[in-house]
């Protein structure tokens, strides 16, 4: 089906009081697996490409974006394209032309004042082109002139009043908040602060985003969605599935050379992971 937009998917999820899952694409097999998993679960999903994945592809967004778009357009599931953790202003400005309907603009390395200024500017530019813009806020705290604490650093929690002020001064369409998850966890042991999610959902006028959901157990994800999370980002869990399947195959077949032999089980393992996460959001 034709590419859908992240804004539409999130608006629909908001209405149904559920969430949309966004999965990170690194290789073509990731994109194919996300589409297959979404079809299997009968749910929409977001194909998300991070600035780090663009760096992996030699700094070129075009090929990986074109592949993800082609996979989305030929899928039976409603899929959108999102550019994730974008620090580079150049990359941000290329999103629209490459078929992305949404971008997460990451100004977290800047001081609070500079962050607000850069994000507000990116939002204005994006909105003129119909882009849906996500940002994240850790803890403003810190000393005057220092960047806010990284939303992904362990122990950091977003303050509801600070989050509301940040959204009002930047105009972002969605906000990633720090509530107990962190990036790149290979075990699902994170405990979320559900009371804080509820307070954030009340204080912040835009949808909330959970990053680092790979490390969050199923029932914690379901509770987070009930408390008001509307976009659930999953990256590492796909790579754990992919690499586990490749490793198992190569250990069992040490003389294998044809990549299709191990990429088939790798892609299948990722599709299973995608479908599993999407089923947690059914409510």
When the beta carbons of 69 and 211 are compared against Zn ion, the nearer one is 211
Binding span for Zn ion by CB under 5 A among 193-201, 203-211, 247-255, 256-264:
203-211
183 is in an annotated binding site: yes
In sequence order, what are the residues at sequence separation of 6 or more whose Cβ sits closer than 8 angstroms to the Cβ of residue 195? Answer: none
157/21 Cα distance (integer angstroms): 22
User: Which sequence positions are flagged as catalytic?
Assistant: 84
Total interface residues for Zn ion by CB under 5 A: 1
Q: How far is the CB of 231 from Zn ion (least distance, A)?
A: 11
Contacts of 46 (CB under 8 A, 6+ apart): 6, 9, 20, 21, 22, 23, 79, 80, 81, 82, 102, 231
- Per-residue binder mask for Zn ion (CB under 5 A), 60-99, x = binder: ----------------------------------------
| In the complex, minimum distance from the CB of residue 26 to Zn ion, in angstroms, rounded to a whole number | 14
Nearest residue to the partner Zn ion, using Cβ: 211
Spatial distance between the Cα atoms of 60 and 54, rounded to a whole number of angstroms = 6
In the complex, least distance from residue 40 CB atom to Zn ion, rounded to whole angstroms: 25
Q: Give 82 or 211: the residue with its C-beta nearer to Zn ion.
A: 211
130, 183, 147, 126 alpha-carbon torsion, rounded to 10°: -10
Q: How far is the CB of 233 from Zn ion (least distance, A)?
A: 6
Q: State the minimum distance, in angstroms, from the CB of residue 235 to Zn ion.
A: 8
160: exposed, middle or buried (Cβ count in 10 Å: 0-12, 13-18, 19+): middle
Q: Is 85 assigned to a binding site?
A: yes
CA distances (Å), origin 179, targets 104, 165, 222: 18, 18, 14
Would the annotation count 211 as a binding residue?
yes
Q: Which is nearer to Zn ion, 30 or 211 (CB)?
A: 211
Instruction: Determine the Cα–Cα distance for residues 133 and 126; give it in Å rounded to an integer.
Output: 7
- 104 CB burial (10 A radius; 0-12, 13-18, 19+): buried
Nearer to Zn ion, 122 or 245 (CB): 122
Q: Which helix (H) or strand (E) holds 6?
A: helix 6-15
Residue placing its CB nearer to Zn ion in the complex, 96 or 211: 211
Confirm whether residue 136 is marked as ligand binding. Answer: yes
d(CA 180, CA 151): 9
Question: Of residues 30, 211, 230, 231, which one binds Zn ion by CB under 5 A?
Answer: 211
Binding positions for Zn ion, rule: CB under 5 A: 211
Known binding-site residues for Zn(2+) equal: 85, 106, 136, 183, 211
């Amino acid at each position: 089906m034709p590419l859908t937009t992240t804004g539409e998917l999130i608006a629909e999820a908001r209405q149904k009081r559920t969430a949309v899952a966004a999965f990170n694409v690194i290789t073509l097999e990731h994109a194919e697996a996300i589409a297959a998993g979404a079809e299997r679960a009968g749910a929409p999903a977001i194909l998300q490409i991070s600035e780090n994945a663009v760096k992996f592809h030699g700094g070129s967004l075009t090929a990986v974006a074109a592949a993800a778009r082609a996979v989305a357009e030929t899928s039976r599931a409603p899929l959108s394209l999102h550019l994730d953790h974008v620090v580079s202003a150049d990359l941000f400005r290329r999103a629209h032309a490459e078929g992305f309907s949404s971008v997460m603009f990451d100004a977290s390395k800047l001081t609070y004042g500079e962050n607000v200024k850069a994000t507000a500017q990116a939002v204005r530019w994006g909105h003129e082109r119909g882009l849906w813009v996500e940002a994240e806020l850790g803890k403003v705290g810190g000393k005057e002139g220092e960047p806010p604490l990284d939303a992904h650093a362990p122990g950091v929690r977003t303050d509801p009043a600070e989050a509301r002020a940040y959204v009002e001064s930047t105009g972002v369409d969605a906000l990633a908040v720090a509530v107990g998850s962190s990036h790149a966890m290979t075990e699902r042991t994170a405990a979320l602060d559900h009371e804080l999610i509820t307070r954030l959902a009340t204080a912040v006028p835009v949808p909330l985003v959970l990053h680092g959901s790979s490390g969050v157990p199923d029932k914690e994800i379901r509770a987070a969605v009930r408390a008001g999370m509307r976009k659930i980002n999953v990256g590492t869990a796909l790579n754990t599935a992919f690499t586990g399947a490749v490793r198992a195959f190569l250990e069992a077949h040490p003389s294998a050379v044809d990549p299709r032999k191990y990429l088939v089980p790798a892609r299948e393992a990722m599709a299973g992971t995608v479908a599993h996460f999407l089923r947690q959001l059914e409510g």
